[in-house]
Structure formats: C-alpha cells, structure tokens
C-alpha cells in the first residue's frame, strides 16, 4: 500500500499532551525550538506544531501521510482509553493532567538502538549519545535553516567498530549495542513479517544487552504492542504505592498485576503511572 507523497498536513488530535508525549522518555529524537518540535525520522525531519485540537506537520521530504498518522497513534481511540483506565479508582487518584499522553509508534530499529542505550542512563544523556551516533555517518538533513543528522541505518552501524560506538559516550553499553546490531542483522528481525510479539520478545531477550525491560520498551514503543508495559524503576515504585503491592515483587509479578488490572490498556495505564511518579520526584528536587 503506497499513498500519495506529501510534505505537510493537519491531524485532528484533541487534548493532546504533546510535551509529555515527545519528551517524557518514550522517544529521544525530538527537540523543541520555540513552539515547534523537530524530530528525525530515518532520513527525514518532521516539524510539528500543536494548537489544540490540530497537529500541524511539515516534512523535509515527501512522505506518506499514513506514516505520520500511525506514528501519532491516530487510529487509536484515546477517549475510550482514558475513559476506561480512569475508571480505576486508584489510578484516577493520580494526576488527571496526564490524560493527554499518547504512545508513539516508533520505527523498530530506532527503538531498538534507543532503548539499548537507555538502560541505567538519563534522558539528556541518551539524547546526546544518539546524536553522536547519528553524526558518525554525517548524513546531514537541512531543514528550515537547521542541520540534523539522519538516524544510522543498521547497515551503517554494522560497519562501525565497538571503539567507534564507545566514542559516543555509550559507556559499557557500547558492547551491548555492537552485539545487538549483529544479532538483529543475523536474525533479520527488521524484515520479518512472520513473527508475533511473543516470538519477537524472545528473540530480543536472547540478545546480549537486552533484558526484560528493554525488550518490553521495544515491543511497546517500536512494535505497537499495548497489552503489556515495561516495568522500570518509576512504574515499579508507582505500582507498589498506587496499588499497594509488595515491594519485593519481581518484574514479572508487577507486569502480570498490571496486565490483570488493565488488560489491553496496560501500556497506557503504565505511561500515566510512569509520568506521574517521575515528575513527582522532579518537583521535590527542584
């Protein structure tokens, strides 16, 4: 299916919390300049401006509108989602201001690279590392008087040595990224359509440097899975406090609990928990 290639469009998305969605830790490829948001998508740069309820977008190169719509999860009924998860008494006690968060559907490869780097790391530094990684290939995209660097393809990354990766401030994660890149190429994960989420998760877990949390991030943010959630430190703390579950619970136990409580909406509920607790701490320290 190929649609018409266009460079600009408008999308109707009422009540969209664009700040938390783009900068809350599910994606690392956006920067904000004034009221405009610029994001690198493979070899393109997209600019978006949100004026409730319209999202205006502009691309540096012609692109199918469908790709943009998918990315912003346009075909999902968010009104229905938040109506559902906010029926939960405990969850609804958290900040309702987070009810405009959407879950982006990112490029699978970009998600794999991003979340391998994200482990035991902070958001600003993750972004810096990804930028340095992009600069290795020096594919510059000029757009609106600014220069951006295209996200490295797997073919490009395969050519890089572990030392070159390490120079991107990846720390000990450089060997993980190096190894994961090889594994993704060998398994041809990016080109397979015969694979379901459960199988993909197992492939990812078999890679050196990907554990449960990163695998689940890749599934949720890069593969469109919504009926599970990555359990990071904030979701863990949040779930323990919000639902009064044992602090000793394992990763799998917390995830099962959330799935049993929120079902097909688990990822959305966890996103609200994540932002709520992450920002609560930030307010304390600043």
Partner DNA sequence: AACCAGGTACTAA
Partner DNA sequence: TTAGTACATGGT
The string of DSSP letters for 222-234 reads: HH---SS----HH
Is 262 exposed, middle or buried, given 0-12, 13-18 or 19+ CB atoms closer than 10 A?
buried
> Looking at beta carbons only, is 140 or 281 nearer to DNA?
281
Task: Spell out a b/e string for 218-255, using b for 16 or more CB atoms within 10 Å of the CB, else e.
Answer: bbbbbbbbbebbbbbebbbbbbbebeeeeeebeeeebb
> Looking at beta carbons only, is 124 or 283 nearer to DNA?
124
Tokens matching residue 198: 């459960």
Query: Least distance (Å) from DNA to the CB of residue 235?
Result: 5
Query: Least distance (Å) from DNA to the CB of residue 173?
Result: 7
> Looking at beta carbons only, is 63 or 168 nearer to DNA?
168
Q: Are 254 and 216 in contact (CB under 8 A)?
A: no
Tokens matching residue 5: 């290639």
> Looking at beta carbons only, is 63 or 214 nearer to DNA?
214
Q: Are 105 and 111 in contact (CB under 8 A)?
A: no
**Footprint of DNA (CB under 7 A):** 24-26, 118-126, 166, 169-172, 175-176, 207-215, 217, 229-235, 248, 250, 270-271, 274, 278, 281, 285
Query: Least distance (Å) from DNA to the CB of residue 4?
Result: 33
């Amino acid at each position: 299916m190929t649609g018409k290639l266009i460079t600009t469009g408008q999308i109707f998305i009422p009540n969209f919390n664009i700040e938390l969605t783009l900068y809350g830790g599910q994606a690392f490829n956006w920067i904000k300049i004034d009221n405009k948001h610029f994001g690198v998508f493979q070899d393109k740069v997209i600019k978006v401006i949100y004026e409730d309820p319209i999202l205006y977008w502009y691309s540096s190169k012609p692109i199918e509108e469908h790709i943009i719509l998918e990315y912003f999860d346009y075909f999902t009924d968010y009104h229905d989602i938040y109506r559902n998860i906010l029926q939960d008494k405990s969850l609804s006690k958290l900040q309702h201001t987070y009810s405009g968060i959407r879950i982006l559907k990112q490029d699978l490869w970009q998600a794999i690279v991003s979340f391998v780097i994200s482990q035991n790391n902070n958001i600003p530094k993750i972004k810096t590392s990804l930028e340095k990684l992009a600069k290795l290939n020096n594919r510059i995209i000029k757009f609106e008087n600014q220069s951006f660097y295209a996200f490295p393809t797997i073919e490009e990354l395969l050519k890089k040595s572990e030392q070159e990766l390490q120079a991107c401030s990846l720390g000990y994660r450089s060997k993980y990224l190096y190894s994961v890149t090889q594994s993704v190429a060998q398994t041809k994960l990016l080109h397979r359509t015969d694979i379901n989420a459960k199988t993909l998760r197992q492939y990812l877990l078999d890679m050196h440097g990907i554990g449960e949390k990163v695998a689940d991030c890749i599934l949720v943010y890069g593969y469109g899975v919504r009926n599970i959630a990555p359990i990071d430190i904030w979701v863990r703390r949040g779930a323990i406090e919000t639902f009064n579950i044992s602090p000793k619970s394992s990763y799998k136990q917390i995830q099962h609990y959330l799935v049993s409580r929120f079902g097909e909406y688990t990822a959305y509920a966890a996103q609200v928990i994540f932002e709520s607790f992450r920002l609560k701490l930030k307010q304390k320290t600043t």
